[in-house]
C-alpha cells in the first residue's frame, strides 16, 4: 500500500506533498483584457482572457453569458517538436479534451446572469511543457478571468464581478508506489495512476478525474490522492490572490 511517508526521490528534491516553484505574472501581454503567465516549475502557460459582446446562438436573448476556453501548445513546448494542429488541419483529441475541461471548470465559477450576454474566451497557450499543463491552465486562466472582469467593474460596465469565487487545479499521481503532488513530466510518464483535481476556494470539488495508466487503484488510494490534491490547491489559492493583489 502506497504511503507518503516512505523515502522518495523526486527529480527536483521536492517532498511528496510539495508543489513545484510557482510564479504567476499578471499583465504578460498588454493586448488582452486579462493576461497571466503561469509557471509551475518548467511548465509555462500563457493565459489570456477575451471579453466579447454577444453569445452563441442557443443563448441569444436569454440574458445569460458564456465562458469557453481554447488550449494550444507551441511546437517546441516539448522536447521533440510537435506538428502544428493548424498545419494538420484539425484539432486533436487531447486538445479537445483539455479545452473542454478548462471551459467547464471556469464556467462553474461565473454567474452567467450577472455577466449578461457576453462571451469570455480563455486562451491557454503552452510555451513550455513539463507536465500538468491543463491544471496550470485552469489556475492561470482563473486569474486572467478575474483581472478581465475586474476591469469591467472598474469601468462601471458591471456593478459587481460575476466571478463567484476562485478556482484552481493540480495533478496528483502514484509513482513507484508513492502518492505524489504536482507531477513533472518525467514522473507523470512513470505514474501508474494519474489524477486531476479541480477545486473551488470554498473546498467544493468541481472535477476529479483519476485514470489508471498501468495498474488499477483502490478506493483507499483515491482518498489519499484527494487529500494530497486538496492541500496543494490551497497553496494555489494563496498564490492566485497575491497575483491578483499585484494586478489591481
Binding footprint of its own copies on the chain (CB under 8 A): 29-32, 35, 42, 44, 46, 48, 50, 52, 70, 72, 74-79, 81, 84-87, 89-97, 99-100, 104, 108, 121, 123, 125, 127-129, 200, 202-212, 215-219, 222-223, 226
CB 48 to its own copies: min, Å: 4
CB of 244 to its own copies, least distance (A): 19
Q: Which residue from 143, 145, 125 is spatially nearest to 134, judged by alpha carbons? A: 125
For the chain, the maximum distance between any two Cα atoms, rounded to a whole number of angstroms, is 59
Q: Are strands 43-53 and 118-128 parallel, antiparallel or unpaired?
A: antiparallel
CA of 167: how far to CAs of 131, 178, 202, 217, 228, in Å?
Answer: 20, 27, 9, 27, 17
Nearer to its own copies, 29 or 154 (CB): 29
Q: How far is the CB of 98 from its own copies (least distance, A)?
A: 10
List the beta bridge partners of residue 38: 24, 45
With respect to its own copies, which residue has the nearer C-beta, 15 or 157? 157
- What span, in angstroms and rounded, lies between the C-alpha atoms of 217 and 210? 9
Burial class (CB in 10 A: 0-12, 13-18, 19+), 58: exposed
**From the CB of 49, what's the least distance to its own copies, in Å?**
8
Q: Which residue has the cell 471548470?
A: 105
Q: Is 50 annotated as a binding residue?
A: no
The reply, when asked if residue 211 is annotated as ligand binding, is: no
Rg for the chain (alpha carbons), in Å? Answer: 18
- Closer residue to its own copies (CB): 7 or 216: 216
134 is in an annotated binding site: yes
Residue closer to its own copies by CB (options 100, 246) is 100
Grid cell locating 96: 479537445
Provide the minimum distance between the beta carbon of 198 and its own copies in the complex, in angstroms, as a whole number.
9
Residues 6+ apart with CB under 8 A from 118: 51, 52, 53, 54, 55, 65, 66
Nearest CB to its own copies, comparing residues 114 and 127: 127
Is residue 68 a known part of a binding site?
A: no
Residues of each annotated binding site for phosphate: 94, 132-134
| Residues of each annotated binding site | 94, 132-134
Amino acid at each position: 500500500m502506497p504511503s507518503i511517508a516512505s523515502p522518495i526521490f523526486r527529480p527536483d528534491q521536492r517532498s511528496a506533498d510539495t508543489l513545484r516553484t510557482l510564479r504567476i505574472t499578471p499583465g504578460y501581454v498588454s493586448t488582452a483584457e486579462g493576461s497571466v503567465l503561469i509557471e509551475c516549475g518548467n511548465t509555462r502557460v500563457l493565459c489570456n482572457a477575451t471579453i466579447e459582446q454577444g453569445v452563441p446562438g442557443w443563448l441569444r436573448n436569454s440574458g445569460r453569458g458564456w465562458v469557453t476556453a481554447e488550449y494550444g501548445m507551441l511546437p517546441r513546448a516539448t522536447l521533440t517538436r510537435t506538428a502544428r494542429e493548424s498545419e494538420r488541419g484539425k484539432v486533436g483529441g487531447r486538445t479537445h479534451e483539455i479545452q473542454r475541461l478548462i471551459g467547464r471548470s471556469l464556467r462553474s465559477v461565473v454567474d452567467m446572469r450577472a455577466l449578461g450576454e457576453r462571451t469570455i474566451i480563455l486562451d491557454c497557450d503552452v510555451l513550455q511543457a513539463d507536465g500538468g499543463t491543463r491544471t496550470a491552465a485552469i489556475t492561470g486562466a482563473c486569474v486572467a478571468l478575474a483581472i478581465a472582469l475586474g476591469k469591467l467593474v472598474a469601468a462601471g460596465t458591471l456593478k459587481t464581478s460575476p466571478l463567484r469565487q476562485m478556482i484552481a487545479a493540480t495533478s496528483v499521481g502514484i509513482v513507484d508506489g508513492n502518492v505524489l503532488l504536482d507531477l513533472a513530466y518525467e514522473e507523470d510518464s512513470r505514474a501508474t495512476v494519474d489524477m486531476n483535481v479541480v477545486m473551488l476556494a470554498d473546498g467544493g470539488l468541481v472535477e476529479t478525474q483519476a485514470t489508471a495508466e498501468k495498474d488499477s487503484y483502490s478506493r483507499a488510494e483515491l482518498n489519499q490522492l484527494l487529500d494530497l490534491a486538496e492541500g496543494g490547491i490551497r497553496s494555489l489559492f494563496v498564490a492566485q490572490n497575491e497575483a491578483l493583489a499585484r494586478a489591481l
